[in-house]
Amino acid sequence: MIKTFPYKGAQAGPKFLVLGAVHGNEKCGTAGINRVMDELNSGKLKIARGQVTFVPICNPRAYERDVRYTERNLNRYLVPMEKPDCYEAELGNILCPMLAASDVVLDIHSYTIGGPPFISLEDFSAEGLKLAAMLGGEAVLCGWDDAYAAAGRAETNPNESIGTTGYARRQGATAVLIECGQHKDPASSEVAYHAIRNALRYLNLTDEPKQEITLNPVRLVKLKDVFFRQDSGGKFTQHWQHLQPVKKGDVLAIDGSGREIRAPQDSLVLLPHANVDIGGEWLYLGVETAE
């Protein structure tokens, strides 16, 4: 169901897991992974230490249909299930042991609205920020669990926001998700490729000269709120951009009943998706922080 491609070095080192197409219409990770595997298979690149395992397509059925998912978002509720209740739950039961067996995880995505690459972490840990610095990106986001809790979703299911990085981190791994740009932008595949190559070098899995870590100034953003689309009649009040600032009280959207959705505090709009399916994440809000 899910094809994996392990490459093992002769010397000891970390176990690195690289995921593509967790969402089937986000194909830049698959392209980046395939390019790196071509280099490994041809001998142009060699894994000298540890092990890297590539999963180019984590959601094969959604990938074939060019859709985000088939029955349920694979990057939510990602926990082992004794009785999987849908296709994505079956995939989760395959992925979770891989995540648990890894020391470092890189999950590669793209996003609908498009814009510069950015990194998602579970928290601003020193190790996570070092790895993020090697991957590039305009901003580093964390606080997904807090945003879902603020929306009351965690009370319904504590695993609501758990995806690849969240589950891996529960098992003790360093886990990073990179959003490479807009789904159809060819530059996203290039970002994915360089993120993998830089991560391999940073983790010292290859014999390439190890890069010095330069923690360039980057925007650190904590998520505070997530708004779900409740009906088909809802609409944004304007064409929101990722990382666009809003003031407390600004009207962000109007739902089908005419109810206004306002920013509870000065914030940044994150990952707005005007046409998301009903029940999906319409947009997030976060605040910039120094730590």
Look at the domain 5-202 and name its fold.
Answer: Aminopeptidase (3.40.630)
Per-residue pLDDT at 157: 67
Beta-sheet pairing, 174-182 with 219-228? unpaired
The three-class DSSP label of residue 205 is coil
Q: Give the pLDDT means over successive 10-residue stretches in the chain (291 positions).
A: 96 98 98 98 97 98 97 94 96 98 98 90 85 85 85 66 92 95 95 96 89 68 93 92 95 93 95 90 92 70
* Residue 290: per-residue pLDDT: 80
CATH architecture, domain 220-289: Beta Barrel (2.40)
What residue ranges do the domains of the chain occupy?
A: 5-202, 220-289
Confidence at residue 235, expressed as pLDDT on a 0 to 100 scale: 94
Same fold, 5-202 and 220-289: no
Task: Judge contact between 63 and 27, C-beta under 8 A.
Answer: yes
Q: For residues 286 and 27, what is the distance between their CA atoms, to the nearest angstrom? A: 27
